[in-house]
Every structure is written in structure tokens, then in C-alpha cells.
Structure 1
Amino acid sequence: MLAAPVIAQNPKGKGPLTGSLGNATVVEDNPPDVTYVAILPTQFSSKIRGAVSATGNSNGIGVNFLVNFTNFPPELGPFAYHVHVNPVPSDGNCSGALGHLDPFIRGEDIACEKALPQTCQVGDLSGKHGKITEDPFSASYLDEFVSTTMGIGAFLGNRSIVIHSMNKTRLTCANFTMLKTTTNTTNASSPYLFEGKANHIQATSFFTLALLSAFALLL
């Protein structure tokens, strides 16, 4: 059985410890030429459209996110979105993504403090950077605790993005898939992606990703 979340004063004075393994740690070795994208599906019941891209920061510290969503049912908001630990199965059932990405075993019972992102679940993007409160919704930010480096708990490349209503119902979801880059980076083993248009796109810049996300909104 997993340990319950712990709230205790960090002896280094950097905020409360929020999980049985302590605060999330800053990821400092992300490859800057690796990008993952998740494009929301069009063939299932949800009408929400959009995409999320995640690119290793140029100095290796953290991951740059570009988020674009639209067509939300207004009566169900505000909306949360998270990186979930498992990929979505091919039938599109978002329950198959399991829980939030949480390598420090924080849990969800205690609300994330936006001012202390190191105390949040690694995958709680809306907790750290803000919920979806408008339609269309766009955001760009650096998250220092997510990773594009395979083999560590904060890695998002083999996981998924899930959007929730205000009562936590899972509304739509999609898997992250690596984009090809202009370098000779080898593609990671990538999960099923509902919209295959992104599988072989040359991602040469963050501007390219902006165009990709804008295209996803039109699907």
C-alpha cells in the first residue's frame, strides 16, 4: 500500500514536503531537441479539440509546454488537465490512463499550491499553471519538474494528457508521441496516437509547434 501524503516542514526551508518521497526535483538534463505532442481525438464523443506540445528547454532545465484547446462544454468548467501515468488504450477509454503522473507519491487529496510547484504532483499541469477558464484556451509555460528524458519517473513521452470537468470526470484524452527533429535523435517507443497526422512532422522550432497546435484546433 502506498504511503499517505505527508505535510511537513522542509528542513531546507523550501516549502512543505507533500509526498512520501518529498518535493519534486528540478529536471536538469532534458534533451533540448526532443519534442512530444498529444493531439486530442476527433472520432470519439467529446467535441473538445486541441493539442499539447512539450519540448525540452534549451538549457536542459525543465520542459516548455504549448497548450491549445477549444470547444469546451461551458457548464462543466473550469477544467483541469494533467499528465497521466499510462497511455490511453486504442479504444479511447480515458480510464485506461490511470492516475496522475506522481513519482513522488503525493496523492490528490491535498490541493496543489501554485506558488509551490515543487510540492505538486509532477503531472498536475493545471494545478501548477492554471485551470482552463476560457474558450478557446491557450497557454505556454516552462515546467521544471517534467522530463523528456527516458528512464526517469517524471518522463512524459510514454504517457497521456487527460482533460477533466470540474467534478473530475474525464472528458477527453490523448497520448504523447515523439516528433521527428532536424537532428538524428532516435524516436522513442511511442504509444498509440489517435490523430496520426503528427507522427512524421519535422519539428524544427517552437514556432512549428504553434502551427501544429493551431492546426489541431481546426480538426
Structure 2
Amino acid sequence: MRLFDIVSLATLGTYVLAQNSTTGQLGDAIAVTNNPLGKEAIAVLPRKSFFTSGSLDGNVKGAVRVTTGPKGKGVNFEVTFSNLPKEGGPFSRWFPLLLSKMTYPLTIYPAYHLHVNPLDASGNCTKTLAHLDPFIRGEDPACNSTNPATCQVGDLSGKYGKITSDPFRARFHDDFTAMKEGPGSYFLNRSIVVHFANKTRITCANFTVLRCAGVNATSTTDELCQDSSTPMPTDNNVTPFIGGAGTLSITSLALLPLVAVFLAF
């Protein structure tokens, strides 16, 4: 192996190690343990498309449904998306190593996140501002899915898997999102945004509360919440989160410097 290939592998491994140690300026995200029992909400994607310059026929269809986690701990998410634009991926790309002709395959997928602002009457998804990030972590380097407390609170696809199929459906539990007003991780007054891999926004929607059973994990007092029977879009293609989307895992990337040194001799 040539010297510049070794340097390239070492540089990539160093970047991954930095990714693994990155956290917010205010520290790791704090687990939420007092969400209202039985609270439920949904964000349904609109019929009108925000992204109009591609192959999209109508708009992406789907919804994000959320319910309080067991004993008020965190939030359960159920995500469904379909009718994705063809240019939205997934795409296979060959990742060039620094100063080298060597390449490694990575797969690029569309993503979805909780954003700071709700969608206003204009329907302009750019007005939802940035990802929900109360611990000031920032987007770069990318989220380390093996340690979700170090990620942006709103980076759902970074923590639990990007959109890998059309139609797409996933269920997961997040410890760090709040369904009770007060903390910065509260998101029911915010929005969900679907992105291309290059961060171009495709569509977005606000959350609507469906039901509240209790104020917190120990309370028996009912909250005043709007009842609704809004159905969750159904699809048989359920994709549980099993790790990162790329064909190179975080662990394998972190070991690249060691592999490079070994192959040099």
C-alpha cells in the first residue's frame, strides 16, 4: 500500500473518531422521564408539494405518529413515507480517500428531522429553520448512531436510520424527545421535515395532538387535549432500525488507521 493511501485511511479514521466523541456545547442530550402518559400526536404530510423541480408526482405521502414511551420515558415513533421523488435516492456513491485513487462504497439516503419552527400558512419548508438542537451540537460531524445522546435531539434519521426504501416504514423509541411543554426538547409545537441527501427540503408538516391521558408519569389528572381519529397511513414494508445506512460501519471506519498501518508492512 502506498504512503498516501495509508495517510488517507488514517485521516478518515481520525474523522470517525472525532465523530464518535462529538457532543453538544451543553453536553449530551438528557433523557426525558416525565412525558404525559398516553399522549399521542401526528404530523401528516400535506397534499401540496413544497419541492416542485424534480420528478415528484404530487407530494410525498406519509406521516409521523408519536406516543409517550413506557412510564413516561421518551417517545415512541412510527414513521411512514411513500411516493418519494426518484432523484431522492437511495444512491450508491464511491467515497474517494484523501490523496488517493482508492474508493469505498457508501450509500446515500434521504433523511428526516424535527425542526425548530412549525410550518406557517405559506407552506414554505425553509421557514422551519434548523434541526431541533437544544444542546447546541450542530450538524457536523454526522451523528454517531451508536451513541444517540451525543446527536442533535431532532436528528431522527441520523439516530435511527434514513429512508432506505419506497414505501418506507420504521418504528423506534427515542429517549431524548419531550411531549410535555417546558424543555427545549419539546417538539409538538414544531415540525417534521423530509430532506434530500444534499439537505434540499422536499416536504414538511406540523404535529397535531390527538390524545392526552395524564400530565406526567404519576399524575391522574387529565389534560385538555383535542380528540381525533386521524388514521396512520398503513404499509406492510416495515423497516426497523438496525444501524447506519452506509455499507461501511462506524466501527470499521474507526479501525481503518490500524488496518492501514498493518498493511504498510
TM-score (norm 2): 0.65
Q: Which of the residues 69, 78, 83 maps onto 2:81?
A: 69
1:6 alignment counterpart = none
Alignment pair present for 1:49 and 2:80: no
After TM superposition, the structure 1 stretch with the greater mean CA deviation from structure 2, 50-59 or 161-170, is 50-59
Q: Which amino acid aligns with 1:157?
A: L
**Deviation string, structure 1 residues 27-77 (Cα, Å, up to 9, x no partner):** 111112111210000023552010001111121111000101100113222
After TM superposition, the structure 1 stretch with the greater mean CA deviation from structure 2, 36-45 or 56-65, is 36-45
Distance 1:45 1:108 in 2: 23
Q: Which of the residues 137, 143, 147 maps onto 1:106?
A: 137
> Which 5+ residue runs of structure 1 have no aligned equivalent?
1-8, 10-14, 188-198, 203-208
Distance 1:178 1:49 in 2: 20
CA RMSD, 1 decimal: 2.2
Q: Which amino acid aligns with 1:71?
A: N
Determine if contact 1:34/1:185 at 8 Å carries over to the other structure. Answer: no
Q: Which amino acid aligns with 1:156?
A: F
Alignment pair present for 1:166 and 2:226: no
Provide the secondary structure at the position in 2 that maps to 1:173: strand
2:251 alignment counterpart = none
1:144 alignment counterpart = 175
> Which 5+ residue runs of structure 2 have no aligned equivalent?
1-16, 52-58, 90-108, 215-221, 236-265
Alignment pair present for 1:135 and 2:140: no
Q: 1:182 to 1:59 in 2, by over 3 A?
A: closer
Determine if contact 2:126/2:201 at 8 Å carries over to the other structure. Answer: yes
Provide the secondary structure at the position in 2 that maps to 1:214: coil
Identity %: 48
Alignment pair present for 1:36 and 2:74: no
TM-score (norm 1): 0.78
Q: Which amino acid aligns with 2:234?
A: A
2:258 alignment counterpart = none
State the structure with more CA Rg: 2
The residue correspondences of 1:139-218 to structure 2 (distance < 5 A) are: 139-181=170-212, 184-187=222-225, 200-202=227-229, 211-214=231-234
Distance 2:233 2:183 in 1: 27
1:116 alignment counterpart = 147
Distance 1:156 1:182 in 2: 18
Q: Which amino acid aligns with 1:40?
A: L
Instruction: Select the structure that is richer in helix.
Output: 2
